[in-house]
Amino acid sequence: MVAVLGLLVTACQSGGAGPGGPGGSTVRVAHVPSTLFAPLYLADAKGYFKAEGLTVTLQTVKNGQDAVPLAAAGQVEAVVAGFSAGLFNGVAKGLGVKVAASMGAATGARPSPSSLEVASRLLDAGTVRTPADLRGRRIAVSGGPGAAGGYQLAAILRGSGVTLKDVTVVNVAIPDMRTALANGGADAALPPAPFSTLMEQAGTARPLAVPPKGTVATGVVLGARFAGQPAARKFLAALRRAAADLQGAGRTSDENVAILAKATGQRPSVLRDTPPYQWDPRLRPDGAQLMAQQAAYREAGLLSGRTLTAEDLVG
C-alpha cells in the first residue's frame, strides 16, 4: 500500500474545509488527467462541487488501476480512471469498491478521440491494411493488456476475428507511444485523445480502426463505505450536472475547452482539433459493457476469480 500511496503526487482543492472519510464533506479523488474525465474537471472549475457543499481534492495518479485499492482502504473516496482486470479480480476477492458512474465513451465515428494508431512506415509499405494484419505484432497499451485500453483494443480487434492472445500487447506510457512507434518499439498503439491527434499531426502514425460506438471502459469507482453516504450522492449529482454541459455543442465550447486544457496540460488548439468523447447525460454505469470487458479479460487469461454479475460491480 505504501507504493500505491506514493502515486498520489499532485493535489488541488476547491470549496471550503471539511473532514475527509466516508461521512465527511471532503471528497478525495484520484484521477489520471484525460479529456475522458471531462465532467470531473468541469464540475470542479464551475463550482458544482462547491454548490453541493463539498470540498473536492483532485489527486493525480500515474495509473488508475493501482489507485482502486486506495478507495477500498479509505485513503481516497473516489477514483476516476479506467477499469482494469485488477478491478474485476479485486471485487471477486471481496475488494470494497463500487462502480458508480461511467465516463467518456467511444463515438464509433471517424475521426475518433481514441483510435488504433498504426506506424506510418507499416501503412506506407502496405504491410498493414486491416486490424487482422496486426497478428503477432506489438501493440502499445498504457498499463498492458489488463488495463482499460486492453479492453478497448479487444473490442476493435474482435471485428477482424483477432483477440488479445493473437497480438503482443506491450505496456507503454501514453506520452512515450509516439516514440515507440517511430523507433520500432511498437507497430501500433491505442492512445487516448489528444495524444492520438498529436502523433497523427507529427506524421508518426495514422488511424486504422476505432472502438465500436458506446465502448466504455472508464468511470467512477467509489469506496464501498463512502458509496452510500450523502456526500457520495452530492458528488455524483455535481458530475451529472457537468455531464449535461458536455452534450451537443457543449463538448467543444470555448469555456469547456479552456477548462480541459488547464486540467490536462494540453494546448487549447490541440483539444479543438481532437474529436470529443461522448458522455451519457446521467453518467449511468453500463452493465453490458462491464460484462463484455470481463469476458475479454477472461478470454485473455487475465482473470483468476469468480465470474461477476453487473450487480456485483455497480452500486
Q: How is the chain split into domains, by residue range?
A: 2-105+216-313, 116-209
User: How confident is the model over 306-315, as pLDDT tens digits?
Assistant: 999 999 999 9
Note the pLDDT of residue 215: 97
Distance in angstroms (rounded) separating the CA atoms of residues 185 and 249 = 39
How does residue 238 score in pLDDT terms, banded at 50, 70 and 90? very high
Q: What's the CATH code, domain 116-209?
A: 3.40.190.10
Contacts of 228 (CB under 8 A, 6+ apart): none
The structure's pTM equals 0.89
SS3 letters for 141-156? ECCCCCCHHHHHHHHH
Query: Grid coordinates 452534450 are at which residue?
Result: 247
Whether residue 1 is predicted with pLDDT greater than 50 in this model: the reply is: no
Residue 285 has, within 13 A of its CA and on its CB side, a CA count of 22
The partner residues of 221 in beta bridges, in order of sequence, read: 79, 99
* Contact (CB, 8 A) for 166 and 145: no
Name the H helices within 2-161. Answer: 2-5, 38-45, 48-51, 64-73, 85-92, 120-125, 148-158
How does residue 177 score in pLDDT terms, banded at 50, 70 and 90? very high
Report the pLDDT averaged over residues 260-267.
95
Contacts of 20 (CB under 8 A, 6+ apart): 26, 27, 28, 77
User: How confident is the model over 276-288, as pLDDT tens digits?
Assistant: 999 999 999 999 9
Which among 56, 25, 22 has a CA at the least distance from the CA of 223? Answer: 22
Note the pLDDT of residue 15: 40
Which among 198, 202, 179 has a CA at the least distance from the CA of 273? Answer: 198
User: How confident is the model over 99-132, as pLDDT tens digits?
Assistant: 999 999 999 999 998 999 999 999 999 999 999 9
User: How confident is the model over 71-109, as pLDDT tens digits?
Assistant: 999 999 999 999 999 999 999 999 999 999 999 999 999
Note the pLDDT of residue 23: 60
Note the pLDDT of residue 65: 83
The partner residues of 188 in beta bridges, in order of sequence, read: 118, 139
User: How confident is the model over 187-227, as pLDDT tens digits?
Assistant: 999 998 889 989 999 999 999 999 999 999 999 999 999 99
Note the pLDDT of residue 63: 82
Percent of the chain with pLDDT over 90: 87
Note the pLDDT of residue 62: 83
* Contact (CB, 8 A) for 210 and 112: yes
Computed over every residue of the chain, the mean pLDDT equals 92
* Contact (CB, 8 A) for 47 and 14: yes
Distance in angstroms (rounded) separating the CA atoms of residues 235 and 60 = 18
Q: What's the CATH code, domain 2-105+216-313?
A: 3.40.190.10
User: How confident is the model over 11-58, as pLDDT tens digits?
Assistant: 444 443 344 555 669 999 999 999 999 999 999 999 999 999 999 999
Whether residue 10 is predicted with pLDDT greater than 80 in this model: the reply is: no
Same fold yes or no, 2-105+216-313 and 116-209: yes
Q: In what order do the strands lie in the sheet with 26-31?
A: 10-14, 55-60, 26-31, 78-82, 218-223, 97-102
